[in-house]
């Protein structure tokens, strides 16, 4: 299929063998090289298309951005041409970074301007959230640790992106790295004079100079005065989306200060990280972080504070709650942050067993979760600080599961030997499970999303309906495993052994299978065996 890029074309779809549009007669092969095959998006500034490069073997995909001047008068056209060349030069300079699509080509055809960039295969963070659900605090922090160095790189190159949002960040399928796309709103500091001249005369080079997306663009950017801190605000707003799955403009604003009223929508966040996020989202540029490096330092401090308070009781219970063991037993805390859940688990066990008589198994589990605490006051909150070990042992995992615990999110279980155990519907989201052995175990319905499972052993295990979305399964042993209806969305399967595994109904791509080891006994997602190993 060929797609006509003429904005006035009444019927842009065409057969893939024709060179001219059958509806309007426009040339379909741009620059004697690129054939657009579908539209990705359109706006006042132009449109974006997926195209094939007809000049190269295999006709690889590329992204073409068409920039349309508002007028063809000499003055406007000349200004558009200058800005176009500057933007191409900026994108060419930024393309040296592995998390920015490379600029492949740029050209002018019939007074319209075209940028050709590398095509990035993968899901946007917006698409990802629809598949896997909102991120935990740990996941949002990992997002920041990956995106902030890229933001620092852009700003060091005197570039303000101006349209950072979940739909413009792709997790590249090949290596799971985040890639920032859509530099259509990019602003190079060297453009400042030209843009001021253009806006002062009431004319701009393009129909509508992109200023960002509502909810993600701060006030100074909407007033056409973006600064580097404007991108920091957009990254903070993206964090809110990752926490909630909602655009920040749905939260409402304080009528007096203009601040986003996000805190009630993100109740399960540490105070230290909430302070970092609040400073990223400050309405006044004076109160906001000035650089990505400042945010990274603050994030490191917040993470350090989080590690000190991890496993704390966030609030001392009232006397009535302390005296009522059913208060803890009957509530479902599976949605709470891990350290709060663990602390409440301890309280629940104590309430059930009684402080005077504890079994040996209770003592072992309690020791695994905590050691003798010391009271600490954080602001108005009294907390119990503990030196919780970062690593669990196999006996404690089985003991906790036997007592009803099914949440081991973000826990370190690496290297444990857990063969022939039953841990159905257990949550291992974001956990460290490298070199763990689950051989012949029943893990049906378990959640391994974003977990590290490097060289893990699942040989002959039951993993029916399990989720491995965005997990790292490099070198994992899945021989003979039941993986029917399992989800491997964007999982890394490089070097994983799937010989004899049952993948009936699994959500897995052929590219992922190509990275893994398979044989004629491997059952494909369609339920058939074949010689594709």
- Pick from 259, 68, 240, 223: nearest CA to 166: 240
Mean pLDDT of all residues in 226-255 = 94
Q: For residue 48, what are the β-bridge partners?
A: 41, 65
Least confident span in 147-156, 167-176, 297-306, 507-516:
297-306
pLDDT at 490: 86
Per-residue pLDDT reduced to its tens digit, 478-493? 999 999 999 998 899 9
105 by Cβ neighbours in 10 Å (0-12 / 13-18 / 19+) ranks as middle
pLDDT band at 390 (very low <50, low <70, confident <90, very high): low
Least confident span in 13-22, 207-216, 372-381:
372-381
404 by Cβ neighbours in 10 Å (0-12 / 13-18 / 19+) ranks as exposed
Please indicate whether residue 362 is annotated as part of the active site: no
Task: Kindly list the distances between the CA atom of residue 323 and the CA atoms of 207, 231, 313, 347, 451, in Å, as whole numbers in the listed order.
Answer: 68, 50, 17, 11, 38
pLDDT at 306: 56
Q: Is the pLDDT of residue 234 over 50?
A: yes
Rounded to the nearest angstrom, the gap between the alpha carbon of residue 315 and the centroid of all alpha carbons in its chain is 31
Task: Kindly list the distances between the CA atom of residue 426 and the CA atoms of 217, 332, 419, 490, in Å, as whole numbers in the listed order.
Answer: 39, 15, 15, 21
Q: Which domains does the chain have, with CATH numbers?
A: 2-118 (3.30.200.20), 122-303 (1.10.510.10), 310-389 (no CATH), 406-533 (2.160.20)
At 361, is the secondary structure helix, strand, or coil? helix
Mean model confidence pLDDT for the chain: 81
DSSP letter string, 9-32: -S--EE-TT-SB-TTT--BSEETT
**How far is Cα 301 from Cα 371, in angstroms, rounded to an integer?**
24
Cα angle 83, 113, 55 (rounded to 5 degrees) comes to: 130
Mean pLDDT of all residues in 71-98 = 83
Cα angle 64, 131, 482 (rounded to 5 degrees) comes to: 120
pLDDT band at 355 (very low <50, low <70, confident <90, very high): very low
Query: Could you tell me where the DSSP H helices lie in 35-136?
Result: 74-94, 125-132
pLDDT band at 307 (very low <50, low <70, confident <90, very high): low
Considering only residues 323 and 309, tell me which one the structure prediction assigns the higher pLDDT: 309
Least confident span in 235-244, 372-381, 422-431, 511-520:
372-381
Query: Could you tell me where the DSSP H helices lie in 281-358?
Result: 292-309, 319-323, 325-329, 338-353
pLDDT band at 405 (very low <50, low <70, confident <90, very high): confident
97 by Cβ neighbours in 10 Å (0-12 / 13-18 / 19+) ranks as middle
User: Contact 419/437 with Cβ under 8 angstroms?
Assistant: yes
Mean pLDDT of all residues in 119-144 = 90
**How far is Cα 380 from Cα 14, in angstroms, rounded to an integer?**
67
Q: Is the pLDDT of residue 184 over 80?
A: no
Task: Kindly list the distances between the CA atom of residue 212 and the CA atoms of 43, 115, 191, 379, 465, in Å, as whole numbers in the listed order.
Answer: 12, 20, 17, 38, 40
Task: Give exposure, 369-384, as e/b (b: 16+ Cβ within 10 Å).
Answer: bbeebeeeeeeeeebb
pLDDT band at 3 (very low <50, low <70, confident <90, very high): very high
Q: What percent of the chain has pLDDT over 70?
A: 77
**How far is Cα 141 from Cα 300, in angstroms, rounded to an integer?**
10
| Token pair 């089985």: residue | 398
| Token pair 């369609």: residue | 526
Q: Is the pLDDT of residue 398 over 70?
A: yes
Q: Is the pLDDT of residue 388 over 60?
A: no
Q: Is the pLDDT of residue 189 over 90?
A: no
User: Contact 163/182 with Cβ under 8 angstroms?
Assistant: yes
User: Contact 133/245 with Cβ under 8 angstroms?
Assistant: yes
**How far is Cα 357 from Cα 17, in angstroms, rounded to an integer?**
81
Question: Residues for the chain: how many in total?
Answer: 533
pLDDT at 130: 86
Least confident span in 139-148, 257-266, 368-377, 453-462:
368-377
pLDDT band at 175 (very low <50, low <70, confident <90, very high): confident
Mean pLDDT of all residues in 137-164 = 93
Residue from 32, 53, 163, 231 carrying the catalytic annotation: 163
- Pick from 151, 158, 156: nearest CA to 180: 151
pLDDT band at 36 (very low <50, low <70, confident <90, very high): very high
Mean pLDDT of all residues in 65-84 = 81
Least confident span in 105-114, 347-356, 432-441:
347-356
| Helices and strands (DSSP H and E) totals, the chain | 14, 15
Least confident span in 136-145, 267-276, 339-348:
339-348
């Amino acid at each position: 299929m060929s797609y006509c890029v003429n904005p006035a074309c009444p019927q842009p779809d065409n057969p893939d063998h024709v060179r001219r549009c059958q509806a309007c007669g426009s040339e379909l092969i741009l620059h004697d090289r690129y054939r657009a095959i579908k539209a990705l998006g359109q706006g006042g500034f132009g449109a974006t298309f997926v195209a094939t490069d007809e000049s190269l073997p295999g006709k690889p995909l590329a992204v073409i951005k068409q920039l349309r001047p508002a007028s063809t008068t000499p003055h406007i056209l000349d200004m558009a041409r200058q800005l176009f060349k500057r933007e191409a030069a900026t994108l060419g300079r930024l393309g040296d970074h592995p998390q920015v699509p490379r600029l492949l080509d740029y050209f002018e055809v019939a007074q319209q301007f075209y940028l050709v960039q590398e095509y990035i295969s993968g899901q946007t963070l917006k698409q990802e959230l629809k598949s896997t659900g909102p991120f935990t605090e740990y996941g949002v922090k990992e997002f920041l640790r990956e995106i902030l160095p890229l933001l620092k790189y852009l700003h060091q190159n005197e570039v303000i992106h101006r349209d950072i949002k979940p739909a413009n960040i792709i997790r590249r399928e090949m290596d799971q790295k985040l890639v920032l796309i859509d530099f259509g709103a990019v602003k190079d500091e060297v453009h400042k004079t030209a843009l001021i001249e253009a806006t002062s005369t009431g004319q701009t080079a393009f129909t509508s100079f992109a200023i960002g997306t509502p909810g993600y663009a701060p006030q100074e950017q909407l007033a056409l005065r973006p600064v580097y801190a404007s991108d920091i605000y957009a990254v903070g707003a993206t964090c809110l989306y990752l926490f909630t799955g909602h655009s920040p403009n749905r939260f409402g604003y304080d009528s007096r200060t203009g601040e986003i009223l996000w805190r009630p929508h993100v109740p399960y966040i540490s105070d230290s990280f909430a302070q970092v996020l609040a400073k990223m989202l400050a309405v006044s540029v004076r109160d906001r972080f000035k650089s990505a490096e400042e945010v990274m330092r603050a994030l490191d401090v917040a993470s350090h504070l989080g590690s000190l308070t991890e496993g704390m009781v966030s609030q001392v219970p009232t006397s009535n709650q302390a005296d009522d063991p059913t208060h803890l037993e009957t509530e479902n805390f599976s949605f709470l942050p891990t350290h709060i859940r663990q602390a409440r688990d301890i309280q629940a066990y104590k309430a059930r067993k009684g402080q005077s008589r504890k079994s040996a198994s209770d003592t072992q589990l309690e020791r695994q979760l905590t050691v003798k605490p010391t009271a600490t006051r954080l602001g108005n909150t009294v907390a119990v600080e503990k030196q919780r070990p970062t690593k669990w042992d196999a006996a404690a995992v089985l003991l906790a599961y036997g007592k009803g615990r099914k949440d081991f999110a973000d826990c370190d279980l690496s290297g444990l030997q857990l063969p022939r155990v039953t841990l159905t519907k257990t949550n291992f989201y974001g956990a460290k499970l490298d070199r763990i052995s689950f051989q012949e175990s029943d893990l049906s319905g378990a959640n391994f999303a974003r977990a590290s499972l490097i060289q893990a052993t699942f040989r002959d295990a039951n993993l029916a309906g399990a989720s491995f979305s965005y997990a790292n399964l490099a070198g994992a042993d899945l021989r003979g495993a039941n993986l029917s209806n399992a989800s491997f969305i964007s999982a890394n399967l490089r070097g994983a052994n799937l010989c004899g595994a049952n993948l009936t109904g699994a959500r897995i791509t052929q590219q992922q299978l190509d990275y893994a080891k398979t044989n004629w006994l491997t059952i494909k997602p369609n339920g058939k065996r074949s010689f594709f190993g």
